[in-house]
Chain A
Amino acid sequence: MSTEAIAVEKPKRNYNVLFGLTLLALLVLLWILLSVTTTSFASANNIANLLRQGSMIAIMAVGQTFVIITGGIDLSVGAVVGFATVVVAMMINAGFPIWLAILVTLLVGVAIGMFHGFGIVKMGLPPFIITLATLTSLRGIGLLMTNGNSININSDTFTAFSRNSFIGIPNLFWMVILVGIPAYIFLHHSRWGRYLFSVGSNAEASRLSGVNVQRTIYMAYTLSGLCAAFVGVLLAARIGIGNPTQAEGWELQAIASSVIGGTSLFGAVGSVHGPLLGAFILATINNGANLLNVNSFWQRIITGALIIIIVYFDGLRRRGK
């Protein structure tokens, strides 16, 4: 065989990076547009607010992306966030140290994720079903625990965290970095990350190649549960209450961020930086629409249209490749 074919033009291989840059450009463009058209957008207060709001969805989107890469979906994350606010609030009010309350809440998230893994791997339930079931039942359990009331958190140290900044950047945004960097290393530079992709592409081929498919699935859902519980802690700190009905519909925002960030719902395609950018694009659109006094009903429509447009162009380019 000749080497001619090998010498021909090299296909653009860093598609991931390219797509990431496109998203980043889109985000910057939105920011510039909003700074020019509104007076309040560029204010320190508003930017901090935007970062806080985007951060929470961003962290959920990272966990969600792990799951979607394996070809699954986690519909429970919004409910996990709400439930986590209850757990952390109850524990803090019961006098446990804050670190312990947070740790236990995170472990609850892990346990929920493990339960999803169990349902999928051992009981053979489709991810959509098992996580949908958790979505409704977790909200129910939370309501039972709180009798349908909100719990006011009586610790100022805890709630102050979310309002404070470190070197001018809101603490919540630092949390994105805290989650994002290990997540990036995990997904793109560790073998477990590779296994997420391979399972999403072809579980049988992965199994025969020695990949522990069951463990990989457990891992994906556990990480998603963990991220959601972490966001629950952050949300509780931000609003100062524990309430199981909080974060209604956030699972869809997390999925949307992930998909806008280039994750394929068919599995095996995705990154960490994509969903992060996706989450902040969504947050910017919502924020900008508020500032421009766009009817909040329109915000939802714009978000929907944006998902269609971005995913369509992404698909076009992938196919054209």
Chain B
Amino acid sequence: MISTAQELHPAPVLEQGRTILELRGLEKRYPGTHALKPVDLAFKSGEIHAIVGENGAGKSTLIKLLTGVMPRTSGEIVWEGQPAALATPHEAMALGINAVHQEVVLCRHLTVAANMFLGEENSRFGILQQRAMVRQAQTIIDDLGFDLPAHVTLGDLTIGQQQLIAAARATVRGTKFLIFDEPTAYLTRKEADQLFTLIRRLKGEGVTIIYISHRMEEVFELADRVSVLRDGTLVGTRNIAETNDAELVKMMINRSIEQVYHKEHFTPGAAIIEARNLSGKGFENVSMTVRAGEIVGLYGLIGAGRSEFVTTLYGRHRKSAGQILWEGKEVQVNSEHDAIKLGMALAPESRRDQGLCLNLPVGFNLNLPIYKRISNNLLISSTQEKTQADRQIADLRIKTPTRGALASSLSGGNQQKIVIGKWLAHGAKLFIFDEPTVGVDVGTKAEIYRLFGALLSKGAGIILISSYLPEVYELADTLHVFRRGKLVATHGFHAASHEDILTQALAEKQEKLGGQI
């Protein structure tokens, strides 16, 4: 089926592409999970090949096999006509296969430059040429059009910026085959554009690209061909010109979705929380109210101060000025504990650093906020512990063999579902979701948005932070735009256009960039 489609409508650019990498019956089993059932697939040189599929479909697993990060269970990988063992990352790199992994796997305590050259340090007589490395790294970064310094510590950058560094790192290594696993999940539109420019440029240079994403519009914007994985099986490959959104979604989840952004409109009730002229680290003089039954969206670039603002509401950081009112009364929120006691819940932005206890079981993570409720003074009710966890696993369709599996063994999107899921049973009044659907597939996104509706109907309020404009645009009753720590604009539902909002979020930054150029 796949081959006939191509023979009938050969896309000219692919015509010249010879097969550079071929998978023959590639298979991977983890204990308890058959992550990849035998897959046959050929990649042609110079193409951008998108791979899409639900959370846990096996996309990242495929990448890990190609880059030698994990050993395969069976099957063959043929590189330029020769079977390749690909047993170690080093071997993959030597062939010219590089990847930007879903989770940034760089050293946060080292500088950007040190990370770029990690494993291939520039040294003379065993002494690192640090200054030369910073200079070279800076040249590469500037050349790629990323506006980032090479001498700072990687951990000081935002996750999105770290992802760009990871991309830069992959391109400097004599790459012939480059894999991006959900690179835009943490990027703002502007950073994503920089990345797309880079990807197109690499393609122009004959590099083959695998591009994994849950965002259909990106797939259609970039890819030449797209392959769909479902439950570890390759369900098909299409030329991008011959397929559409609906078909891909249907292939991915075996059913169709009428509406992703499921929004019911409630008449907002009484104010739950109000910030009055609140200032703190990273933001200044912000005032806003969240009412019962309302989704308040916060849009802005990464680093615009949205996360800092909500973590201050939540007591993680100290406010420097202003007031917080909870149900009309001024309150002091000195710790997360205070915030939770008032009735707040926060699903933070970085699942690895803030959201999950990775080396503990899924059920443990889901129950962490509610252990107090499911235990009497002394003992935890083990039945409650089980039923609560299983309910969230079922409701959010978290793909895990059991609630006892470690959180680290789940796919990225399924880990994200735990970060959301652990608050759903908590019964808070104000839910703060910071980038809640990063890396989550369309089907589950729809599910999560439906759950938002359920929370609202019970009289809760939601603060929704997203760097993905369509999400806040379609869901927020009130949309606040942040720019450089200030609240610069407020709109009602669909009251402003995408362009206006983007301009408001970007304005100053572009002026500054313009000035530099």
Contact = CB atoms under 8 A, between A and B. Distances in A.
Contacts of B337: 210, 212
Contact of B357 (A1, A8, A201, A210): A201
A208 B402 contact: no
Interface string A163-193: 0000000000000000000000100011100
Contacts of B348: 205, 208
Interface string A262-280: 0000101100000000000
A268 B336 contact: no
Given A211-B368, A269-B359, A204 B354 contact: yes
Interface string B25-64: 0000001111000000000000000000010100000000
Contacts of A194: 364, 367-368, 371, 380
Given A1-B397, A206-B368, A268-B359, A190 B443 contact: no
Contact of A9 (B32, B340, B372): B32
Most buried by B among A4, A204, A210: A210
Contact of B56 (A5, A11, A189, A198): A5
A11 B357 contact: no
A198 B360 contact: yes
A187 to B, nearest CB: 11
B340 A210 contact: yes
A142 B32 CA distance: 56
B253 A198 contact: no
Given A194-B364, A205-B355, A208-B336, A11 B380 contact: no
Interface in B331-353: 335-337, 340, 346, 348, 353
Interface in A25-63: none
Contacts, number: 110
A321 B357 contact: no
Interface in A192-223: 194-195, 197-198, 201-202, 204-212
B445 interface: no
A206 to B, nearest CB: 7
A269 B361 CA distance: 11
Main secondary structure of the interface of B (DSSP, over half): loop
Most buried by B among A1, A11, A198: A1
Interface in A237-292: 266, 268-269
Contacts of A320: 31
B169 interface: no
Nearest to A214: B335
A315 to B, nearest CB: 13
A1 B56 contact: yes
Given A8-B401, A191-B371, A204-B353, A209 B422 contact: yes
Nearest to B382: A189
Contacts of A212: 335, 337
A122 interface: no
Given A185-B378, A198-B368, A321-B31, A210 B358 contact: no
Contacts of A6: 399-401
A8 B34 contact: yes
B402 A11 contact: yes
Interface string B355-391: 1111110001001110110010011101000000000
B402 A198 contact: no
Contacts of A11: 31-32, 401-402, 404-405
Contacts of B335: 212
B179 to A, nearest CB: 24
A18 to B, nearest CB: 13
B316 interface: yes
Contact size class for A? 20 to 34
Contacts of A208: 314, 316, 336, 346, 348, 354-355
Most buried by B among A11, A207, A266, A269: A11
B342 to A, nearest CB: 11
A2 interface: yes
A204 B314 CA distance: 13
B121 interface: no
A13 B399 contact: no
Nearest to B344: A210
B354 A205 contact: yes
B34 A207 contact: no
Contacts of B401: 5-6, 8, 10-11
Given A5-B401, A6-B401, A210-B369, A197 B380 contact: no
A9 B33 CA distance: 8
A10 B371 CA distance: 25
Contacts of A210: 336-337, 340, 368-369, 372
Contact of B231 (A2, A185, A189, A211): A2
B338 to A, nearest CB: 10
Given A201-B359, A208-B316, A212-B337, A4 B231 contact: yes
Contacts of A190: 375, 378-380
B32 to A, nearest CB: 4
Contact of A1 (B31, B346, B371, B399): B399
Given A208-B346, A208-B348, A5 B33 contact: yes
A158 to B, nearest CB: 32
Interface in A303-321: 320-321
A49 B447 CA distance: 63
B210 to A, nearest CB: 23
A269 B364 CA distance: 13
Contacts of A185: 378-379
A204 B400 CA distance: 24
B301 to A, nearest CB: 23
A6 B399 CA distance: 7
A205 B357 CA distance: 7
A210 B254 CA distance: 39
Contacts of B34: 5, 8
A140 to B, nearest CB: 36
Most buried by A among B31, B254, B397: B31
A289 to B, nearest CB: 36
13 contacts: A2-B254, A5-B33, A11-B402, A11-B404, A11-B405, A13-B404, A185-B379, A191-B375, A194-B380, A198-B364, A208-B348, A208-B355, A266-B359
Interface of A: 1-2, 4-6, 8-11, 13, 185, 189-191, 194-195, 197-198, 201-202, 204-212, 266, 268-269, 320-321
Given A11-B31, A201-B357, A210-B369, 15 more contacts: A1-B56, A1-B399, A5-B33, A10-B402, A190-B379, A190-B380, A197-B364, A198-B360, A201-B359, A202-B353, A202-B358, A208-B348, A210-B368, A211-B368, A212-B337
Identify the 10 closest CB pairs spanning chains A and B, nearest first. A201-B357, A191-B371, A210-B340, A13-B404, A11-B32, A209-B368, A209-B369, A202-B357, A191-B375, A201-B360
